[in-house]
Amino acid sequence: MSRQIQSKISDSKKVLSHKLTEKIDRNEVSKLLSDLVKVPSVTGSEGDAARFLKEWCDKNGLPCELQQVSGDRYNVIVKIQGSTGKSTIHFDGHIDTYPMTDEWNKSLVGKITRERIYGIGSVDDKGGTVAMLVAAKSIMNLGIETEGNIILTAVPGHLEGGSGVRKLVEKGFKADVGIVCEPTTMKIITCHMASLYFEIVTKGVPALDTYKENGVNAILHMTRIISELQRLEKSYQKKYRHPILGVPLVNIGKINGGFRHNIVPDECRLAFSIRYLPGQTIEGIKKEIQEIFAKLKKDDIPDLEASISYLKGWYDWPRLPLEIPRDSQLVKSVVHAYETTTGDKPVITGEKYWTDASIFTAANVPSIVFGPGNDECYWIDEYMETSQLLNATKIYAMLMSEMTSMSPTELRKGI
């Protein structure tokens, strides 16, 4: 293909993208978000929200199906078939939220002003979900025939560890690249930490306090382990350092033990978390902690009896790290769409929190995180800024229009 033809194609794409983004209506995307936040969808009870989105898709010409995750919980899946179908790009948002607290002003839920849309989940993550759906509707309304396929998924269970996404993967979900539409304040997130949740149990021997020399104090043994975990965090800070994410973090979260003030406790339980970096492994971290037990038993506490296990639910749904090269075609495409839409350069960075993007990436769908809304989103009377919501919708639409002309090899270039 000559450079002249390539140039003409490029120019035509620019014109098409301009028409597409100009057609996106602030009022439409704001109204859909307002309506969606009025539908309660606390984690575990997302059925009504899934059916609401299915009905909206049906009314607006988006081919949509519901995939049962469990009980009355469903993945909303939109598939737009391309003319060649050789490549597939994917957008994902989640529809579950935390419960609304008593401090909320309930009359604000769904309220639209010139600058804001209020409601729990308006930021995390119904805003990004609405933006990708309206973007796809705009593609369909303009009659734009894409070469590659577009898949949108609105999933339940993100806040419990990604149960909706894991069901997609279990059922054989495939795409070439993806964008998870979590709130990032429109920053492009190419990497994030992982979350690892452990429980340690120490065992002792009970005895009355007047004869405590006959007992073994499980709580005192646990305090020694806690000290060693703090030393482990300091050693991590010397051993591991990511240029964006920094160093691993160890948090002592919950401890309980004993059953009476005058009895030597025979058991103590500690729940704690470790935020670890790309390059570290689950097995390696667990081994390091088991080595702490062995060292304490050998050097200081010969009667130490301690065990470690993953907290309930974590092992079934491990929360892995994410890292996508900053110079990959996926990132470049988002940068281009962002700059074209806003006239500014985007921030490319990473975050300490965990996202579903790591599940997709581990399943061979390399994904970045990019969406509207402040990532510190758990405030009372949560709201989405309409300007971010509109820009995100335009950027997603441009990506759907332009990236679907790339081959799988091009889409995954640099990854």
Alpha carbon dihedral 228, 232, 233, 238, in 10-degree steps, equals 140
Over the chain, what is the mean pLDDT?
93
What local confidence, expressed as pLDDT, does residue 318 receive? 85
Q: How confident is the model at residue 19 (pLDDT cuts 50, 70, 90)?
A: confident
Q: Mean pLDDT across the stretch 300-328?
A: 91
Q: What was the pLDDT predicted at 1?
A: 36
Mean pLDDT on 252-279 = 96
Cα–Cα dist 378/121, whole Å: 9
- Please list, residue by residue across 382-395, b when 16 or more beta carbons sit within 10 angstroms of its beta carbon and e when fewer do: bbbbbebbbbbbbb
pLDDT for residue 9: 43
**Domains in the chain: boundaries:** 3-192+321-411, 194-310
Residue whose entry in the numeric block shows the structure tokens 């690892």: 196
Is-contact 144 398, C-beta < 8 A? no
Percent of the chain surpassing pLDDT 90: 88
Segment holding 93, helix H or strand E: strand 88-94
Using the predicted structure, report yes or no on whether residue 12 has a pLDDT greater than 90.
Answer: no
Cα separation of 52 and 172, whole Å? 25
Q: Taking residues 198-222, report their average pLDDT.
A: 97
> What class has domain 194-310?
alpha beta
Name the residue with tokens 């604000």: 108
- Using the 8-state DSSP alphabet, how is residue 98 labeled? P
Q: How confident is the model at residue 17 (pLDDT cuts 50, 70, 90)?
A: low
Identity of the residue numbered 16: L
C-alpha torsion sign, points 238, 242, 247, 251: negative
Cα–Cα separations (whole angstroms), residue 86 to 71, 251, 353, 372: 35, 46, 34, 29
pLDDT digits (tens, 9 = 90+) for 135-169: 999 999 988 889 999 999 999 999 999 999 999 99
402 falls in which pLDDT band (50, 70, 90)? very high
Q: Are strands 383-385 and 194-203 parallel, antiparallel or unpaired?
A: unpaired
Please compute the mean of the pLDDT values over residues 309-319 and round it to a whole number: 83
Please compute the mean of the pLDDT values over residues 53-77 and round it to a whole number. Answer: 98
pLDDT at 34 over 50: yes
Contact partners, residue 373, CB within 8 Å, separation at least 6 = 122, 123, 124, 125, 127, 128, 183, 184, 185, 384, 385, 388, 389
When pLDDT is cut at 50, 70 and 90, the band that residue 2 belongs to is very low
Q: Give residue 57's pLDDT band: very low, low, confident or very high (50, 70, 90).
A: very high
Q: What is the pLDDT of residue 41?
A: 98
Question: Kind of pairing, strands 64-70 and 73-80?
Answer: antiparallel
In this prediction, residues 198-202 reach a mean pLDDT of: 97
Give me the pLDDT at residue 15, please.
Answer: 63
> CA 369 to CA 400: how far, in whole Å?
16
Q: Which CATH number fits domain 3-192+321-411: 3.40.630.10, 3.40.220.10, 3.20.20.140, 3.40.50.1370?
A: 3.40.630.10
**Phi/psi at 67 (nearest 5 deg)?**
-115, 120
Task: Place 21 in a pLDDT band, splitting at 50, 70 and 90.
Answer: confident
Residues 6+ apart with CB under 8 A from 282: 196, 318
In one letter, which amino acid is 173?
A: F
Is 194-310 in the same CATH topology as 3-192+321-411? no
| Contacting residues for 10 by C-beta, under 8 A, at least 6 apart | none
Residue 208 contacts by C-beta under 8 Å, 6 or more apart in sequence?
A: 262, 263, 264
298 vs 378 pLDDT, higher one: 298
Give Cβ neighbours of residue 159 (< 8 Å, ≥ 6 apart). 43, 94, 96, 97, 98
Residue 5 has pLDDT above 90, yes or no: no
**Beta bridge partner(s), residue 251:** 273
8-state DSSP, 303: T
Read off the pLDDT band of 14 (50, 70, 90).
Answer: low
The dihedral formed by the CA atoms of 369, 374, 376 and 382, expressed in degrees to the nearest 10: -120
pLDDT at 301: 96
